[in-house]
Structure 1
Amino acid sequence: MISPGLADALEGWLTHLRGVDNVAAATLEAYGADVRCFLAFQSGHLGEATGTALISAIGIRDMRAWMARERAEGLSARSLARKLSAVRNFAGWFAEREDIDVTPILSAKAPKFTRKLPRPVSVEGSRALIEAAAELEPTGWVAFRDAAVMTLLWGCGLRISEALGLDAGQAPLPDTLVIRGKGGKERLVPVLPAARQAVEAYCAACPHDLTPGTALFRGVRGGPLNPRLIAKAMERARHSLGLPASATPHALRHSFATHLLAAGGDLRAIQDLLGHASLSTTQAYTAVDEARLLQVYGKAHPHG
């Protein structure tokens, strides 16, 4: 439990993120839970400090105690680093608002962790997945639908939520799509002919009325398509092809980036196409490409 004053401060910060930074609802929920847990721990840990005075009373030892408790409860280093990022953001906002010193919170070091590399699917594997998903679907128009969605993920680098968020009024697809991604940020994404053709084939076969203002991709009953159905289609396809469990809808987005990089794509341009806020996120694909090259080198080199 946290005091009413802390609860009000937390709500004020979340309102700021929602209104000024346009942070997505799911992200706000995660941030709120992370900071609320942190404040609840410190409220019990620093019993004599109450209300918003608690924040200025937190020292580096108190930060270490919180992090030690989180790790003891099984939280991974990666998840703790994410929680600490939310806590720092809140503390920085609160310090500026209340003119207090929160140096111990801001200077707390995040635990080191190995960033998981994206696990893309090869060009051949991506193409085979899309073809297999369509072949394994007995309902004709649904097969066209699944192929169209998966082609957008691989050919345009869309997130599944972005593909399923397309409006029926956007079809036939233009040469360039305006995509509203995480945090409401817009980006321009070129549409490949293959993606346009896949969507046109789906629209021609779809039995539902695709009027502007409604979802482009539909479920069997006509409502907006559930992303879980695309995940299931890919699951069937990867099993039939003997591909690993990492071959998910999001892996097709990873594949888009990795294949562009391998073909000589500029990292900044790929960052823009994916809608990454930070270049460091996109740089993970450089490591993937290097790992692939080393693997090829190891197999091909006479002394490998």
Structure 2
Amino acid sequence: MTGSSPTSPISAWRESWLNWLAAERQYAAHTLDAYARDVDTYLSFLDQQSSTPNPPDRHDFRSFLATQQAKNLGHATLARRVSAVRNFYQFGARNGYVKKIDLSWMKPPKRPHLIPKDLPDTDIHTILNVIDSSNQPDWLKNRDKALLMLLYGCGLRISEALNLTAAELPLSEWLRIKGKGSKYRDVPVLKAVADAVHTAAATCPFQPQDQQLLWRSSRGGPLNARTVQRLIEKIRTELGLPEHVTPHTLRHAFATHLLAGGGDLRAIQQLLGHASLSTTQRYTHVDSEQLMEVHHQTHPRAKAYAK
């Protein structure tokens, strides 16, 4: 780290902060490395400007942000960098390294108003791998992984996944879901998804009765949606994924990937439980080339008209 010796107050502050992220927040090693680089970049900038990090200065921060934007960094990287610096100061204020100050002005530039991009299949696999490599007990890892596989593999809403009861096990090839407006629909269940759910249920130390909700919190009560949202938020930060990635994004990805693979939009509408086809169309983010390819391959007159 530039601008401070290993025994300086800033170095002690930084070291204490990183230890806290590792021990209390249980950040993965690559996330800690990213946060350390982000804060070191900021401290190095201040050193070059002959400025000090204590107290935080709005003008210095905006100048730093401008230099980062000039490097054409992605919005997710900028957002993570700002988040790291703000977290560094918040920790410092709580532990006496810096005086308490309003940091509401310390925020990244606004994201351009774009249609949210689809979450690639590779990112979904990476998310599941992050869960596997976490420091949680095995049963919690199994639970989290199975839940996310249900959202992506079956296209469920988070509320629908959390409303599954123990009586619905073992899962068969089809699962009956009670959706919005108390309307029921049947969705196919991939073997990998069923296996993940069965493993999660078998390893859970809290075994619910038949009509009780299947998913349990770390204390044994019913799992709530906010816990799953926090899980995705943590993984999103670790991987530097866009802010629009939420549990619901996995449902969007389910629909988009089916359509991209040649799936029928009406069938996807039924799988999602949408009353209107227009709602399904908004869910699917497939580019024009993919749509054209599906059209040419499936339209009964496509080959005839091409002659």
Aligned to 2:147: 149
Alpha-carbon offset, residue 137 of structure 1 = 4.5
SS at match of 2:185: strand
Given candidates 255, 258, 263, the residue that maps to 1:257 is 255
Match for 1:209: what amino acid?
A: Q
Query: Is contact 2:162–2:213 with CA below 8 Å preserved after alignment?
Result: yes
SS at match of 2:286: helix
CA distance in 1, matches of 2:180, 2:135: 31
Superposed CA deviations along residues 186-223 of structure 1, whole A, max 9, x for unmatched, are 00000011110110110111001232000110111211
Provide TM-score, normalisation by structure 2: 0.55
Superposed CA deviations along residues 87-125 of structure 1, whole A, max 9, x for unmatched, are xxxxxxxxxxxxxxxxxxxxxxxxxxxx98554310111
Residue 194 of structure 2 is aligned to residue 196 of structure 1: yes
The number of aligned residues is: 179
Query: Is contact 2:116–2:244 with CA below 8 Å preserved after alignment?
Result: no
SS at match of 2:243: coil
CA distance in 2, matches of 1:291, 1:246: 22
Aligned to 1:266: 264
Alpha carbons of structure 1 residues 291 and 241: separation in structure 2 relative to 1, 3 Å: farther
Alpha-carbon offset, residue 292 of structure 1 = 8.0
Alpha-carbon offset, residue 245 of structure 1 = 1.3
Given candidates 215, 225, 239, the residue that maps to 1:227 is 225
Residue 158 of structure 2 is aligned to residue 160 of structure 1: yes
Alpha-carbon offset, residue 165 of structure 1 = 0.3
Aligned to 2:123: 125
CA distance in 1, matches of 2:168, 2:213: 10
Aligned to 1:100: none
Higher helix share: 1
SS at match of 1:177: strand
Alpha carbons of structure 1 residues 137 and 262: separation in structure 2 relative to 1, 3 Å: farther
Alpha-carbon offset, residue 293 of structure 1 = 5.3
Aligned to 1:290: 287
SS at match of 2:223: coil
Aligned to 1:178: 176
CA distance in 1, matches of 2:196, 2:119: 20
CA distance in 2, matches of 1:116, 1:266: 26
CA distance in 1, matches of 2:117, 2:175: 26
Alpha-carbon offset, residue 238 of structure 1 = 1.8
SS at match of 1:289: coil
Alpha-carbon offset, residue 133 of structure 1 = 2.6
Alpha carbons of structure 1 residues 152 and 116: separation in structure 2 relative to 1, 3 Å: farther
SS at match of 1:208: coil
Gaps of 5+ in 1: 1-114, 295-304
Alpha carbons of structure 1 residues 244 and 291: separation in structure 2 relative to 1, 3 Å: farther
Alpha-carbon offset, residue 136 of structure 1 = 2.2
Alpha carbons of structure 1 residues 137 and 179: separation in structure 2 relative to 1, 3 Å: farther
CA distance in 2, matches of 1:140, 1:160: 22
Gaps of 5+ in 2: 1-112, 292-307
Residue 241 of structure 2 is aligned to residue 239 of structure 1: no
Provide TM-score, normalisation by structure 1: 0.56
CA distance in 1, matches of 2:244, 2:290: 20
CA RMSD in angstroms comes to: 2.0
Alpha-carbon offset, residue 135 of structure 1 = 2.3
Residue 279 of structure 2 is aligned to residue 281 of structure 1: yes
Runs of 4+ more than 3 Å apart: 115-119, 291-294
SS at match of 1:265: coil
Query: Is contact 1:119–1:251 with CA below 8 Å preserved after alignment?
Result: no
